[in-house]
Structure formats: C-alpha cells, structure tokens
Structure 1
C-alpha cells in the first residue's frame, strides 16, 4: 500500500489560490500602480465576453467536479486520487478545472477592465503548468500507469 503522505502530487499551492493570487496582484497593479486606460471595448461587447467566459468557466469546473464526485475521488490535489477519471468533459481536456478557472480569470479581468490582469495570464499559466499540472501528471502516471499514459497521448492538456 502507498504511504498516504507521499500519495499526493505535491502541487506548489491550491490551484484556486494561485488563480486568486494572480488576479489580486493584477488588480492591485492595475489600480494602484500602472493605471492603464482599460480595454478598448464597447460596453455591450465587454459584458457579453464577460458573461460567455464566466458561463463557460463555471460550466467546465462544475462538469469536472461532477465527474470526480461520480467516480468517488477527491478533487483537491492535496488529497490522494482514488480513481482515474477519463469520462465526460475529461474526454476533451485533461484539465477542465484549470481551463475553467482560466476562463473565469479572463472573465473577471475583462469585467474589471484591467489589462494588467490579462498581462499576468502567461506567468499564471506557466505557474499552473510547472507548479501543478506537471506534478499531477507525474503522480497520475506513477499511480495509474499505462492507462493514464495512453490517455495523455489521446486527450489534449487544455483543448
């Protein structure tokens, strides 16, 4: 049996907190330091984009959580995985929760009219990739072996 303390991916921090940290840092920079002119986007288009990003992001996260619940495995990466989920939304993307959080982040950046938040998207994605996803994928490959490795070859990481 695997030791419970080592039976976790060892992510650098809870992913929602990473997203929140970048969002708050971007908002602080935007409104306290940089003070850009905002996004050059008509109000109706801006709010349509916000709505679409938020709906798609929330739907992605909810669909992923539902699949984890149905499989009886915890979603938080600081708890041991008890099942490998490849059904539902996981047939299209290996990381629907991070994709959803990214869409929510984008929606909030547009809603706040804060380009600096958008500028932080690339460093955020790099942090999520190396600090979370790579560690989770290594953990899943070690825990679930060939079926998981085959899955990674057939389903894209993001889309």
Structure 2
C-alpha cells in the first residue's frame, strides 16, 4: 500500500527533528554539559528549601513534541483523515513560514540563555533569571517556537490529526513542564520571578 504524502511529511519531519535533537544532545555531552550540575547528588537548596535544584519536568520538552508528531503520523497511517483543502504549494509555504518563525524564536531564546550563562535543558539547574530580549514578550519562547515548528509541519502535511493533537499537546506542556518550571523558579528566585511573571504572559 502506498504511503500518503501526509504521512511522509510527518514521518520525515519527526526523523529530521529527532536527528537534530540527538546531535544537540551529543554536542552538549561532549562539551561536558552535565558538569553544570553544582553538586554530585544533583541537589541544591533552591531558595533554602532543600529541594532538588531542577524543575522536575515529566520529560524533555522536545521529546514530548516529537512524540505527538509521531503519534499524528501513526494516526494518519491507521485512520487517515482528509487533508486540508488547500493546494500543496500554499500548504508548503504556510508551513515553512510557521516553522521558520518558530526556529527564529528558539534561536533568540537560546541566545539569551547563553548570554546569561544558564542552562537550557530543564533537567539542569537554572543559574540565572532571563527576562530580557524575547523574554520581554513571552515567558516560554522555547515552547512557543517549538509549537510553531510543530504546527508548520502539520500545515505542510495538511494533517488534521497533527492540528487536532495540538490541544492535548499544549495541555501536557502546560501541566507537565511549564507549571513545574514556574514552581521551581518561584522557589529559587522568589519575588524577582513573581514580578516578572506578573508583567509577561506565559505564551504571548
């Protein structure tokens, strides 16, 4: 049985992004990223609480996005839905624009983290509160950018499954990642993070 264009785009996008993520993890490991953990047992009194000095997210956020993207591909293969009623070139262009905007936001956020000298992965301690640059507009540019990349692939593929899954995907990100990160940052940075949280929206 022939594989549909929609499944090919979703599967191809998942594989490419997984490779990019794997390369990034490998580079970080080679550079000794794990050395950023301040104590050998991975604990530091965040705000004097004695709690682990990490956010305790349910999984690495890129893997969550990739998991939902892969799920959309599987659903399209098993229970295919009609594709978006838009000509392919228009879908490709719209998807490319969304993905490009997403990558741009991600790179801007990464630049601010590197400038502040703090860790990007939520599995490592946050050593500085970043509130400038893109962080003046959104508290979570990494997740906003990754959502746009995900939507870009979904639109390019014309996949109603990928677009529909954005609802449970964002629920998982909000509850399993962002809420835990916010609790951690409140514990660690106190009033400074509270003031930032009050003036900048979670998403846009």
Structure 1, unpaired ranges of 5+: none
Pick aligned residue for 2:172 from 121, 127, 145:
127
Distance 2:201 2:114 in 1: 22
Q: TM-score, normalised by structure 1?
A: 0.95
Tell me which of the two structures has the higher relative contact order, counting C-alpha pairs closer than 8 angstroms and 6 or more residues apart.
1
Give the SS at the match of 2:54.
coil
Q: TM-score, normalised by structure 2?
A: 0.75
Distance 1:92 1:37 in 2: 36
Give the SS at the match of 2:175.
helix
**2:51 maps to 1:8:** no
Give the SS at the match of 2:65.
helix
Kindly name which structure, 1 or 2, has the bigger radius of gyration based on alpha carbons. 2
Give the SS at the match of 2:124.
coil
**2:146 maps to 1:104:** no
Q: Give the superposition deviation at 1:2.
A: 1.9
Q: Give the superposition deviation at 1:112.
A: 1.9
Write the deviation string for residues 24-77 of structure 1: whole angstroms up to 9, x where unpaired: 00111012x211111111223212211210111000100000100000000000
Structure 2, unpaired ranges of 5+: 1-43
The residue that corresponds to 2:33 in the other structure is none
Distance 1:35 1:44 in 2: 21
Give the SS at the match of 1:6.
coil
**2:153 maps to 1:114:** no
The residue that corresponds to 1:141 in the other structure is 186
The residue that corresponds to 1:25 in the other structure is 71
RMSD: 1.4
The residue that corresponds to 2:100 in the other structure is 55
Distance 1:21 1:14 in 2: 11
The answer to whether the 8 Å contact 2:98/2:149 transfers is yes
The residue that corresponds to 2:5 in the other structure is none
